[in-house]
């Protein structure tokens, strides 16, 4: 079997999965039916022949194949990607105990590696990485237009080793930060009492098993006399759907909390509240911001959908997906999003674009004293800007700019928390009246 024939068979495997989204990707000659996989294969065959016969140099067909498969997944969403045979083997083998990351939830926006939020107490947090930062280089490797999966592989390494990141931040010169890889981070949740019998429950993460810790802290607040709760979900990203449902169920006695959806927004699984697991029936207000993503969005949306409480702050990021690995005939793989998380009403958190993603707060309040995020959309096609590449004459090694020392400034008021407390006070006053 010729290489060309093998190549076409590999492309067939990917095309049969993706042809409905490819539509009229390329038009050559007469108009072809938009969703005809045979028409798409004829196009690939024609392109391949031109590469083999007409390209100025002898083409590296392994690279051509990888590029073709990568292009099929490009633009679907940040989490769908092509994997090389080596990456497929690594993926199937599971996590490597010797590998550690930087502790940040990442996505891809306008082809840039985007920090949704660093985990509190993580190496990224300690190094000064902030929500909304763009990581432009990882150890001198440009991150623009590489897959999110590949970027994460570059960030991982031996625990205790350092990785150098070139970071773009609004109203700042590009920064070069050294991050020591590791696993340290803060507790999954924190709590304290405020005046007026208000309990503040801060959730830092919602990974496997961490809802139990949240439950314990909520029980402690109730024992201390808390009659109202502020649930702080700001900069809480990633996490497990099951853990999110468990936390939401602590405040919601009945009704649908969340669901998973598949093709054509068809509901796959519905998660409903268990009355026996409800813990707190008093007034509750949640806080969200652009660093709220994934599991925390499930909790916030459930409070709104079930009319259980107000949600204060800024629109959340929009995440929550599940991927399936399809192994192709050449050993390559296609990691494809097949499931999205959705609210109880069926709205997915990851929309078709940024405008249709995330949870919209019921009461919008801008955050105070938060670093302004770079808008990646403003950087697209802006390669000549000093912010998008190393200084002239130093293309291989980004200029090292130490992180600026934090300016000493008076403590600023947390306007979002202030609004939440006001809402709870008004609710209590209305109940008394």
Average pLDDT score over the chain: 84
The predicted structure's pLDDT at residue 411: 57
383, pLDDT greater than 70: no
The mean pLDDT value for 21-36 works out to 46
Query: Per residue in 29-83, pLDDT tens?
Result: 444 555 677 777 788 778 888 888 888 888 888 788 777 777 778 778 999 999 9
Q: What is the pLDDT of residue 201?
A: 98
* Residue 396: strand pairing partners: none
More confident residue, 403 or 210: 210
How far, CA to CA in Å, does 74 sit from each of 18, 77, 137, 145, 336? Answer: 11, 7, 20, 9, 11
Burial class (CB in 10 A: 0-12, 13-18, 19+), 186: middle
Q: Where in the chain is the domain with CATH 3.90.226.10?
A: 189-368+412-432
Per CATH, the number for 189-368+412-432 is: 3.90.226.10
Q: What are phi and psi of 339, to 5 degrees?
A: -140, 140
Would you state the pLDDT for residue 384? 40
**How are beta strands 134-138 and 162-168 bridged, if at all?**
antiparallel
Which pLDDT tens digit goes with each residue over 212-236? 999 999 999 999 999 999 999 999 9
> What number is the average pLDDT over the span 9-24?
41
Rounded CA-CA distance 164/176 in Å is 7
- pLDDT given for residue 429 in this prediction: 57
pLDDT in tens, 89-108: 989 987 666 689 999 999 99
Whether the pLDDT of residue 237 is over 90: the answer is yes
> What pLDDT digit, counting tens, does each position of 271-296 carry?
999 999 999 999 999 999 999 999 99
Please report the pLDDT score of residue 368 as a whole number: 65
Q: What is the pTM of this model?
A: 0.81
- Check residue 174 and give its pLDDT: 93
pLDDT at 290: 96
Q: Which residue has the higher pLDDT, 427 or 255?
A: 255
Residues of the chain with CATH 2.30.42.10: 93-184+371-388
d(CA 94, CA 391): 39
Per-residue pLDDT band for 198 (boundaries 50, 70, 90) equals very high
Q: Please check whether the domain covering 93-184+371-388 is classified as CATH 2.30.42.10.
A: yes
Query: For 129-143, what is the mean pLDDT?
Result: 95
CB 335 within 8 A of CB 295: no
58, 60, 66, 68: CA torsion to nearest 10: 0
């Amino acid at each position: 079997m010729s290489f060309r024939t093998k190549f076409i068979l590999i492309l067939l495997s990917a095309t049969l999965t993706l042809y409905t989204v490819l539509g009229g990707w390329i038009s050559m000659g007469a108009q072809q039916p938009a969703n005809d996989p045979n028409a798409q294969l004829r196009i690939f065959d024609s392109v391949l022949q031109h590469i083999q016969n007409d390209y100025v140099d002898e083409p590296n067909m392994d690279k051509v194949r990888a590029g073709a498969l990568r292009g099929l997944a490009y633009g679907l969403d940040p989490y769908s990607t092509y994997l090389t045979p080596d990456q497929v083997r690594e993926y199937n083998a599971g996590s490597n105990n010797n590998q550690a990351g930087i502790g940040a939830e990442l996505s891809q926006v306008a082809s840039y590696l985007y920090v949704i939020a660093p985990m509190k107490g993580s190496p990224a947090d300690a190094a000064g990485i902030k929500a909304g930062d763009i990581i432009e280089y990882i150890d001198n490797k440009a991150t623009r237009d590489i897959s999110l999966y590949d970027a994460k592989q570059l960030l991982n390494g031996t625990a205790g080793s350092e990785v150098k990141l070139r970071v773009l931040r609004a109203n700042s010169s590009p920064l070069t930060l050294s991050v020591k890889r590791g696993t340290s981070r803060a507790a999954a949740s924190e709590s304290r009492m405020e005046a007026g019998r208000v309990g503040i429950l801060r959730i830092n993460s919602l990974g496997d098993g961490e809802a139990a810790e949240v439950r314990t802290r909520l029980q402690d607040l109730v024992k201390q006399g808390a009659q109202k709760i502020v649930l702080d979900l700001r900069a809480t990203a990633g996490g497990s759907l099951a853990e999110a449902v468990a936390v939401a169920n602590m405040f919601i006695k009945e009704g649908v909390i969340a669901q998973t959806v598949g093709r054509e927004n068809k509901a796959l699984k519905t998660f409903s509240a268990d009355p026996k697991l409800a813990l707190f029936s008093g007034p509750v207000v949640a806080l969200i911001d652009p660093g709220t993503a994934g599991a925390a969005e499930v909790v916030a949306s459930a409070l709104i959908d079930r009319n259980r409480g107000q949600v204060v702050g800024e629109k959340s990021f929009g995440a929550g997906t599940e991927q399936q690995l399809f192994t192709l005939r050449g050993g390559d793989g296609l990691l494809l999003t097949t499931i999205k998380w959705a609210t109880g009403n069926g709205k997915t958190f990851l929309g078709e674009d940024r405008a249709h993603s995330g949870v919209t707060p019921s009461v919008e309040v801008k955050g105070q004293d938060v670093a302004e995020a770079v808008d990646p959309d403003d950087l697209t096609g802006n390669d000549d800007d000093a912010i998008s590449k190393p200084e002239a004459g130093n293309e291989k090694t980004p200029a090292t700019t130490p992180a600026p020392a934090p300016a000493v400034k008076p403590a600023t008021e947390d306007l979002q928390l202030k609004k939440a407390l006001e809402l709870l006070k008004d609710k209590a006053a209305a109940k008394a009246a």
